[in-house]
Each structure stands twice: as structure tokens, then as C-alpha cells.
């Protein structure tokens, strides 16, 4: 069992201190567009993306305390003011703290693939989740999904065309193995260095 790391960072929030839904304009001190990364890992993707997009406010969530700690350290080191980090489970957090029709983008990078067939129903991204998420995106809001697990990538790419209210930004391809301008995490780079491929999917709320 991993020891719990206390996080002392001005960019780390606790959901219990937020309203439902949260007033993110008050949290950030401005009314810029709002984006969410689900599963921020150690924060390398989030930091690069937030530096690229200072006009956007980012919420980075992860279920693991250690990931939140490392993400906060990276954010603080780069003195970013447009990212807040929370230790949360995705569905409950979105339902309780995000106003419907308010997210300009959602990023999900290399989530747990639950590789055993009997566990695949535990995967985060499925039709039910996408129908749920659609309600929280602004019209034209972006959904990005990346995975290092072949079966998960092909499964999500095959499922999304059947979900109403989204258009494929990669058409006619269902997925690509290279997405120009999209930052790669250290985990992705390590995986690619082994000669393996990342599956990228990009849809937009129509």
C-alpha cells in the first residue's frame, strides 16, 4: 500500500470546498474557456498543453494521490496559473462539479485498459460514458482519446461513429497513430520507443 503524500500547492483543490457545480470563473479569477484532463498521470502532458494554451483554464484530475502530487510539482515549477488539480473519480466529479455545456475540451490519455476480457466493462470510455460526457461539452467542444492498448483503441474508434451528437475530426480515418500538435506524455514516448503504437481519436460535439 502506497503512503499518502500531503500536497501543499496553491493549484491543488479539494472538491469538498467547491460548490455544485463549481464556479470555475471564481476559482481561476477569469471567464476563459474550460478544459478537463481525465487521468493526468505525472502531469507532463498537462503542463505542455497548458503552456501552449494560456487562453484556456485546465482542470486536471487523477484518482492517484502520487500523480496529483507530481502534477502539482510540475505546474508550480513552471509557475502556471491556468491549471487546477484534484484527486477525483471522473464520472462523479463531472456530475457534481462541472456545469452542463461548459467544457471546451476533454483529454483522456492512456487510461487503464483493463486488458482481461472479464474486466473490460470497467473501461472508462464506452458509449454510455460518451453520451454522458456530451452533455458537458460546449457545441464544438473537442474530445481527445489516446491509448497504447490496441484493443482499446480499435474498440473506442469503432464505437464513436454510433454515438449521436459527435463528428469525427479525423475522417475518413477512425483513428491515427500520429496527431500533429498533440503533446506526448513520457509514458507514450517510452511506449513508442519500444516500437509500439499509440491510437489517437479526435471527435467534436456537433
| Catalytic center residues | 112
What's the alpha-carbon Rg for the chain, to the nearest Å? 16
| DSSP string for 103-143 | EEEEEEES-----SGGGGGG-S-SHHHHHHHHTTEEEEEEE
Which of 38, 83, 95, 96 is CA-nearest to residue 63? 38
Asked if residue 35 lies in contact with residue 13, where contact means CB atoms within 8 angstroms, the answer is: no
H or E element at residue 68 = helix 65-77
Amino acid at each position: 500500500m502506497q503512503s499518502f503524500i500531503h500536497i501543499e500547492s496553491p493549484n491543488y483543490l479539494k472538491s469538498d470546498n467547491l460548490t455544485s457545480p463549481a464556479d470555475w470563473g471564481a476559482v481561476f479569477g477569469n471567464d476563459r474557456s474550460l478544459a478537463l484532463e481525465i487521468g493526468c498521470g505525472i502531469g507532463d502532458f498537462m503542463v505542455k498543453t497548458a503552456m501552449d494554451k494560456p487562453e484556456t483554464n485546465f482542470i486536471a484530475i487523477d484518482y492517484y494521490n502520487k500523480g496529483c502530487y507530481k502534477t502539482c510539482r510540475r505546474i508550480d515549477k513552471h509557475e502556471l496559473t491556468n491549471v487546477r488539480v484534484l484527486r477525483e473519480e471522473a464520472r462523479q466529479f463531472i456530475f457534481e462539479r462541472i456545469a452542463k455545456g461548459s467544457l471546451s475540451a476533454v483529454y483522456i490519455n492512456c487510461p487503464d485498459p483493463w486488458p482481461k476480457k472479464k474486466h473490460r466493462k470497467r473501461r472508462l470510455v464506452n458509449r454510455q460514458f460518451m453520451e454522458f460526457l456530451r452533455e458537458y461539452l460546449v457545441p464544438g467542444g473537442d474530445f481527445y482519446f489516446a491509448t497504447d492498448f490496441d484493443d482499446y483503441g480499435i474498440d473506442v474508434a469503432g464505437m464513436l461513429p454510433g454515438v449521436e451528437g459527435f463528428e469525427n475530426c479525423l475522417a475518413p480515418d477512425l483513428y491515427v497513430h500520429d496527431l500533429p500538435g498533440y503533446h506526448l506524455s513520457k509514458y507514450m514516448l517510452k511506449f513508442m520507443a519500444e516500437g509500439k503504437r499509440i491510437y489517437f481519436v479526435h471527435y467534436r460535439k456537433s
